[in-house]
Amino acid sequence: MNPTDTITERISSLHAQEYDALPDVIVAAPSIVRLLGEQLIETEGLYIALPLDMYAAVAISARKDTSVRFFSADINERKRTNLSNLKYKREDRWANLVKCAFFAFQHQTHLEHGYNITITGNIPHNLGFGASKALVCAAIAAVANLVGCACSPGELEKIALKLDTEYFERRAVLAEYTALVQARADSMLYIDEAKEWVEPLPYLFSDYILVFTDSKVPRVPIDNEIESRIGDFQHVVQRLRKGQRRLRDIDMEELDEYTGIIPESTRRHCMFMLEEIQRIRELREAAGTRDLAAAGRLINKSQAGLRNHYEISCPEVDWLIKRALEIDGVLASRMVGKGFGGCTLTIMQASAKADYLKRLEEYERIFGFKPVYWEAQCGNGLNMYTPSFSGTEA
* Domain coordinates in residue numbering, the chain: 3-201+379-385, 209-376
pLDDT tens across 163-184, in order? Answer: 999 999 998 999 999 999 999 9
Given this model, what pLDDT does residue 42 score?
Answer: 85
Q: How many CB atoms lie within 10 A of CB 267?
A: 18
pLDDT tens across 252-261, in order? Answer: 777 777 677 7
State pTM to two decimals.
0.91
320 closest CA partner among 225, 211, 208: 211
Distances (CA, A) of 377 to 159, 207, 346, 347: 29, 10, 12, 10
CB 123 within 8 A of CB 131: yes
Which helix H or strand E contains 201, and what residues bound it? Answer: strand 197-202
Q: Is 64 exposed, middle or buried (0-12, 13-18, 19+ CB in 10 A)?
A: exposed
Helix (H, G, I), strand (E, B) or coil at 33: strand
Mean pLDDT of the chain: 90
Q: Does residue 160 have a pLDDT over 70?
A: yes
For 3-201+379-385, CATH number out of 3.40.50.300, 3.30.230.10, 3.40.50.1260, 3.40.50.1780 equals 3.30.230.10
* Three-state secondary structure of 68-130: EEEEECCCCEEEEEECCCCCCCHHHHHHHHHHHHHHHHCCCCCCCCCEEEEEEECCCCCCCCC
Given this model, what pLDDT does residue 391 score?
Answer: 54
* Segment among 60-74, 214-228, 275-289, 330-344 with least mean pLDDT: 214-228
Q: Which residues pair with 209 in a beta bridge?
A: 348
Amino acid identity for residue 385 in this structure: Y
Architecture of domain 209-376: 2-Layer Sandwich (3.30)
Share of the chain above pLDDT 70, in %: 94
Residues 46-51, mean pLDDT to the nearest whole number: 96
Euclidean distance between CA atoms 187 and 196, whole angstroms: 19
Phi and psi torsions of 29, nearest 5°: -120, 145
Given this model, what pLDDT does residue 243 score?
Answer: 54
Residues 260-266, mean pLDDT to the nearest whole number: 79
Residues 234-261, mean pLDDT to the nearest whole number: 71
Given this model, what pLDDT does residue 394 score?
Answer: 36
pLDDT tens across 280-308, in order? Answer: 999 999 999 999 999 999 999 999 999 99
Euclidean distance between CA atoms 248 and 369, whole angstroms: 39
Greater pLDDT, 268 or 372? 372
181 closest CA partner among 382, 18, 394: 382
Q: Which residues pair with 55 in a beta bridge?
A: 30
Given this model, what pLDDT does residue 393 score?
Answer: 42
Residue 244 confidence class, pLDDT cut points 50, 70, 90: low
C-alpha angle 210-215-217 in degrees, rounded to nearest 5:
155
Residue 389 confidence class, pLDDT cut points 50, 70, 90: low
CB 280 within 8 A of CB 247: no
Euclidean distance between CA atoms 165 and 384, whole angstroms: 26
Given this model, what pLDDT does residue 261 score?
Answer: 74
Helices 131-147 and 96-105: crossing angle in degrees, nearest 10, is 40
Q: Does residue 82 have a pLDDT over 80?
A: yes
Q: Does residue 144 have a pLDDT over 50?
A: yes
DSSP state of 176: H
